Amino acid sequence: MKNNQQVSFPDELLILVDSKDSIIEYATKEHCHGGDGILHRAFSVFIFNSKNELLLQKRSAGKQLWPLYWSNSVCSHPRKGENYPKAVKRRLLDEVGLQLPVEFLFKFQYQVNYNQLGSENELCSVYIGKTDDPPMINDNEIAEWKYISLDKLQIDMNDRPEEYTPWFKMELKRIRQDFIDTVIAI
């Protein structure tokens, strides 16, 4: 199933933070991603099914940064006035139409530029969850999706690393190194 509701806006206010995740102020998403970016809160969700396959999404062609790249199940930003759990719940519904419990794994900071179009400069919290419910994909956010085993994913990422978002590669590496038992246990 699919939907096509617009859920991302360049003028939505994101939360600017320091490296310790203390709120500094707010700025539009467009402003946060311009140039080398401004450090702001973000999150990534990794959704697994009962076979421990990961739900991957290929970002829509309409994305300013990394369009048509494969990435984790859901990623976005808490907006002004939102905490992480509220934002994660909202975005799971917005992008993949799912409601499920998630577990926080880790937080990390990164900055990467995308061509001359802008960059990500984020303090990103990473969550995992498990469900066998079918996703209801939002066409405005996601061009394609699939479930894939971590072993097959690693082979594909080794063969075609340029097809995956930089944050996804960093997050998956850390999950495989430090949290694989958590993935299996959820």
Burial class of residue 108 in the structure, from the number of CB atoms within 10 Å of its CB (0-12 exposed, 13-18 middle, 19+ buried): middle
Element (H, E) at 90: helix 84-96
* Catalytic center residues: 75, 122
**How far is residue 175's CA from residue 171's CA, in Å, rounded to a whole number?**
6
**How far is residue 57's CA from residue 76's CA, in Å, rounded to a whole number?**
13
Q: Which tokens is 119 given?
A: 């960059």
- Dihedral angle sign, alpha carbons of residues 54, 55, 58, 64: negative
The one-letter amino acid at 63: K
**How far is residue 125's CA from residue 108's CA, in Å, rounded to a whole number?**
7
Q: Pick from 57, 174, 157, 25: which is nearest to 110 by CA?
A: 174
CB 152 within 8 A of CB 158: no
